[in-house]
């Protein structure tokens, strides 16, 4: 059996300890907006995409983050340059863990959010 979907990732969920503070952090770091909404039993903050019907997105929810830097790494697209995004992340209280790493599709850097979740900030080429 062979399965090749259009997008291997269909949704992400990032657990945070304080939804309001994390919304402000992720909006600052990425330069994008999150839409606060009730989703099932949880209040969430949904990352917005240019195509809400077909874009791959996800949300923040109040939950238990993995031990400092031990969970999966979620890479997020950013507005502007990677350097601008890293500066916004630092000012918002996050931690930059690596220098910029070039790959064919662009550049990214490893970081941690307010709860120690492992994230990558990604600038498309």
Q: 23: domain CATH number?
A: 3.10.180.10
Q: Is residue 6 part of a domain?
A: no
Q: Round to whole Å and give the CA distance between 53 and 111.
A: 29
Q: Say yes or no to pLDDT of 68 above 90.
A: no
Q: Note whether residue 5 is domain-resident.
A: no
Say yes or no to pLDDT of 67 above 90.
Answer: no
Q: Is there a domain that residue 3 lies in?
A: no
The domain in which residue 116 lies consists of 11-124
pLDDT for 39 equals 86
Buried b (16+ CB within 10 A) or exposed e, 90-110: eebebebeeeeeeeeebbbbb
Tally the domains of the chain.
Answer: 1
Q: Is 56 helix (H, G, I), strand (E, B) or coil?
A: coil
Report if residue 1 sits inside a domain: no
């Amino acid at each position: 059996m062979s399965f090749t979907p259009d997008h291997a990732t269909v949704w992400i969920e990032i657990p945070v300890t304080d939804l309001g503070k994390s919304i402000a952090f992720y909006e600052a770091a990425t330069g994008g907006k999150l839409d606060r909404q009730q989703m099932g039993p949880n209040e969430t903050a949904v990352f917005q995409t240019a195509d809400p019907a077909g874009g791959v997105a996800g949300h923040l929810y109040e939950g238990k983050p993995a031990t400092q830097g031990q969970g999966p790494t979620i890479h997020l697209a950013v507005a502007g340059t990677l350097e601008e995004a890293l500066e916004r992340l630092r000012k918002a209280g996050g931690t930059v863990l690596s220098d910029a790493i070039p790959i064919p599709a662009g550049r990214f850097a490893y970081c941690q959010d307010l709860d120690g979740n492992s994230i990558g900030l990604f600038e498309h080429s």
